[in-house]
Structure 1
Amino acid sequence: MNTYKYKHYIIYSLPPFTMYGFPIIYTAILLLLSPPNAALQELLRGFTATPDSSLPVSSFQPLLTDSIGNYSLAFLRVDRTHLALAVIHVSSQVPLWIAGKSPLAPWSSQTRLSFNGSLVISHSHTGVFWSTYTDGHRVRLSNTSNLLIESEGESPVVVWQSFDFPYNTLVENQNFTSAMKLVSSNGMYSMKLGSDFIGFYARFATNSGPDSDPGRLYFQHNPMETKAHITKGEGPIHATLSPNGFLGLYQNSSNQVDLQPFSSFQQPGTGNRIIRLEPDGNLIGYYWTGSSWVVDFKQIANPCDLPSSCGAYGLCRPGNSCSCLDNRRSYSSGDQCETSGDDFCRKRYRVLRRSGVELANKEIMAYTMMSSLEKCERACEEKCTCWGAVYSNTSGFCYAIDYPVQTLVEVMDETKMGYFKVREGAGKDKMGVGLWVGLGSLCGVVLLISGVGGVVLYRKESRGVKGYEEEEGINGGVGPYKNLRSASSKSIELSER
């Protein structure tokens, strides 16, 4: 058997004098006549593909498609210069699964996807970026967007599937087990199953531990079913997104212990549903209408309950309005009130106090009973890995914040007080830059006025005031300085392509 490559397709040529000769030659001709960017419906051993540098940045390069064309395994360009292997919902071009998290391979002719029993992304200089480490015969994409590697034989066995390694999205009928996790696209948030709950975790610090450590628990959903309960010793729980419009929690295959209905619960329709862990830490459900994805479910309904809805050292008010804890800086979306640095073991800090605040996730946070606010503050002050503390005078609960301070919630209770450490100089950098920019502009204006004044004085002295006025057109028309000011006032718009 001889193997030939054409436009990333593998064509097998057999001796012509066999009963299979004509069908294979016919198939080969069809492949040769296929469009260059057409995708196959299975990949066999020996398949290779490289990214096409001529493609637009906003497009993707299809490699494999399901039988009805809803989903595609494709090269997806990330940040213009990097490549991700992704399963994409073709109509919306939304990625549902991505192979590996980081690092990503470069979008380069030296990067290659190959299949020789394992799917492998590699680079000729830096080596392997990602591999399935399998021994399969073919790769196939199911009509449910599940990427499958199957063994050889009349009854092929699935030796690997993408449903076992979700990224940030779950699709209909995809089981989510305790061995899996969803990770937001920015890498800050993750979702995992506990023994009897769905947990949401945040990794705020840059040195927050190994990848096996999910981070800080910021939200927890426990089963709400009254007639069913989780039985210890009866096996782990798993979650499944139902086509009927709900997220179900199960123990074993039949014991449903929780049901979270979506807005489209039990409504007739054939659209797809997905749930995705978004970059703000919320789990959002979407329904495909045939032309767009619409929001169908939100795990955290109140934006103030999100871990960092107003950024570091921000304050969230009812109605989702944001301000800064220190009340001195105006809040702007996408800009933090203060900088969250490392711990304070080797760095100077100042103290920020604010009353009428509490933690959004205090129900799942540990606390210590303290007899006074001063003792609560002192306990945090003496611990260099403590970023702050929130104390309640009525209950005596002292909540220590052992992670970078994020968004606090404003409450109408002045007995709830917060103590926060702020890195020395944080928030002053931008003020300093603005001050120097202002001083520089002022100096420039002074120099410009001085220069113009010098020229005017020189010309008045050399030719007389009248001759200067007639030549420069002071009493009528537009002089050169005015033209310069007009040109400098034009705005320049930048946009990403």
Structure 2
Amino acid sequence: MVELTQIYMFIIIIVIIFISQPIFAKEQELLKGFTATPDSSVKSFQPLLSDSLGNYSFGFVRVDQTQLALAVIHVQSLEQVWIAGKSPLAKWSSDIRLLFNGSLVVSDKRVGVLWSSYTDGDRVWLSNTSNLLIESSGDQKLMLWQSFDFPYNTLMENQNFTSTMTLVSSNGMYSMKLGPDFIGFYAKYDANSNSDQGHLYFQHNPMEAKAQVMKGQGPIRAMVSPDGFLGMYQNGSTPVDVLPFSSFQQPGKGNRRVRLEPDGNLVGYYWARSSWLVDFKLISNQCDLPSSCGPYGLCQPGKGCSCLDNRTDYESGQCVTGENKLSNDNFCQTKYGILRRTGVELPNKEIMAYTIMSSLEKCESTCEQKCTCWGAVYSNTSGFCYIIDYPIQSIVEVLDVTKMGYFKVRAGHGKDNTLVGLWVGLGLLCGLVLLLLGVGGMYLYKRENRGVKGYVEEDGMNGGVGPYKNLGTSSFKSIELSER
């Protein structure tokens, strides 16, 4: 009886051990000759490789149902922590193949190679920190390639971020890079822009409390510490700057990571057994984000968002047409309106270049004469004139009415063709009605033989169409149209 009980206990232990093993992906290394194709029945993620603890997995990810990316994910949350190529590689199709022939290669039967690690290794494996590695065989097992050298939008714990790397938000609009002595955040508002760097919208300089950045002593690097901070280093392990998280120096908080979000903010998280909890935000004030209220939006501290023109309903989620907010233009060759607003300033004025000018008119004239200028913000007290050479994003409302904004708004772009046709039809109809009224009026004029003056004097009306000030209602105060 005792022996039977021991057998039962042994079986139970074996079952428990089996169940507790990672089942999200069977393989813990890929060797030369490995191949895989997307499975049409998979709805979100097709695992190909797992780390030894089963926390992270490498495989195919469906993007927007029809496209494919090669990624490393956190298994429990399905969060993507690394993506090859930083964008979908191809359509989810049986024509796609992943192979390991010394290099990891994604290819299409019709197109050819879509992505490659360009290595000559012997095995691929996934570390318990989510780092995908390619190694050579032999006694030393040299590391030839690692995904930590090619981050996507995320930095994991103990992952070095160097001056040769870039974090890019999932929408492709924002990026994070290291300067000689700062962390820079850049926005690419115009998808057709030739500028690779983008527009600098936020800059963090080190406090240098314990160490200083020394010129000529090598580049700086950044790293997420297990102790709960984002550190900047130059030489050695002493940080030149520490950005503490909420859980700073609190052990046992689980895996940590930071991610560049689609709104341009850098946000830190730690894994709390069932979810990722926010632990840090680099930009704490919502109005300091580059486009917190969208293009031509007005961020009101403590109140929320509205539109710069004071007429468009922000609840619609769009203050301007798509063309005005996404692409650059030559304003010398297109029609545009002028939007003026008092009590406004730029969210990133501290890092923007400015010119001291004697008047608002000169500031506006400088922008007006510059074909690529989208607007300008001027301060009457300091004389600072900020020229905006990118599509207008969110502007911050301030109580100081001496700070004024001048913004160009392209006219006639982005309107729905159906609406345009409807207005054209209504215009033709109104023209026809006016023509008939004119003919009838001439007929009555000749018949009654009365002059226009008689009608005017009888009705007590002045000549003309009425004073111009009748158009000066609140709805017309902020918009002026001009042609260039």
What is the TM-score of this pair, normalised by structure 2? 0.80
Residue 442 of structure 2 corresponds to: none
Cα pair 1:105 1:122 within 8 Å, conserved: no
> Which residue, out of 181, 190, 201, partners 1:196?
181
Counterpart check, 1:285 vs 2:285: no
* CA gap 1:435/1:335 in 2 versus in 1, 3 angstroms: farther
Bigger mean CA offset, 247-256 vs 179-188: 247-256
The residue identity in structure 2 corresponding to 1:189 is Y
Letter of the 1:419 partner, please give it.
Y
**Within 2, Cα distance between the matches of 1:78 and 1:106?**
9
Deviation at 1:333, TM superposition (A): 6.5
The 8 Å contact of residues 103 and 129 in structure 1, kept in 2 or not, is answered as no
The 1:37–1:247 alpha-carbon spacing in structure 2 relative to 1, beyond 3 Å, is: closer
1:253 correspondence with 2:236? yes
Poorly superposed stretches of 4+, deviation over 3 Å: 34-38, 426-436
Match of 1:342 in 2: 328
1:116-148 per-position Cα deviation (integer Å, ceiling 9, x unaligned): 011011110111111111111110101110000
- Aligned-partner Cα distance in 1 for 2:105–2:360: 57
1:41 aligned partner, one-letter code: Q
Partner of 2:344: 357
Tell me, yes or no, if the aligned pair for 2:104 and 2:118 is still in contact at 8 Å: yes
5+ residue gaps, structure 1: 1-33, 440-497
Match of 1:234 in 2: 217
Give, in whole Å, the separation in 2 of the partners of 1:358 and 1:431: 37
Deviation of 1:335 (Å): 2.5
| 1:185 equivalent in alignment to 2:170 | yes
Please give the residue correspondences for 1:78-97 in structure 2 after superposition, counting only pairs within 5 Å.
Answer: 78-97=63-82
Count of aligned positions: 402
For the structure 1 residues 333 and 320, does the alpha-carbon distance in structure 2 shift closer, same or farther, using more than 3 Å as the test? farther
Task: State the secondary structure of the residue aligned to 2:82.
Answer: strand
How far has the Cα of 1:269 moved from its partner? 1.0
1:331-480 to structure 2, matched below 5 A, reads 331-332=314-315, 334-338=317-321, 339-340=324-325, 341-343=327-329, 344-426=331-413, 429=416, 432=419
Equivalents in 2 of 1:260, 1:333: separation in Å?
Answer: 37
Q: Which residue number in structure 2 is paired with residue 15 of structure 1? A: none
Q: Percent identity, aligned pairs only?
A: 71
Q: Partners of 1:333 and 1:245 in 2: how far apart?
A: 40
Distance 2:46 2:235 in 1: 40
Point out where structure 2 has 5 or more consecutive residues left out of the alignment: 1-20, 427-484
TM-score (normalised: structure 1)? 0.78
- Give the match for residue 114 of structure 1: 99
Match of 1:128 among 113, 121, 126: 113
Which residue does the alignment assign to 2:52? Answer: 67
Residue-by-residue CA offset, 1:180-220 (whole Å, 9 max, x unaligned): 0100000000000001010000000122225xx22000000
1:200–1:218 CA contact under 8 A, matched in 2: yes
2:32 paired with 1:45? yes
In structure 1, what is the Cα distance between the partners aligned to 2:61 and 2:210? 46
Question: Aligned pair in 2 of structure 1 residues 39, 332: CA closer, same or farther (>3 Å)?
Answer: farther
Please point out which of 92, 98, 102 is paired with 2:83: 98
Q: Is the 8 A contact 1:225 1:258 kept in 2?
A: yes
Partner of 2:295: 312
State which of 189, 196, 202 in structure 2 corresponds to 1:219: 202
Task: Decide whether the 8 Å contact of 2:121 with 2:136 is kept in 1.
Answer: yes
Shift of 1:101: 2.2
CA contact (8 A) 1:184 1:279 kept: yes
User: 2:287 is paired with a residue of what secondary structure?
Assistant: helix
Supply the AA of the counterpart residue of 1:243: P
Deviation at 1:319, TM superposition (A): 1.7
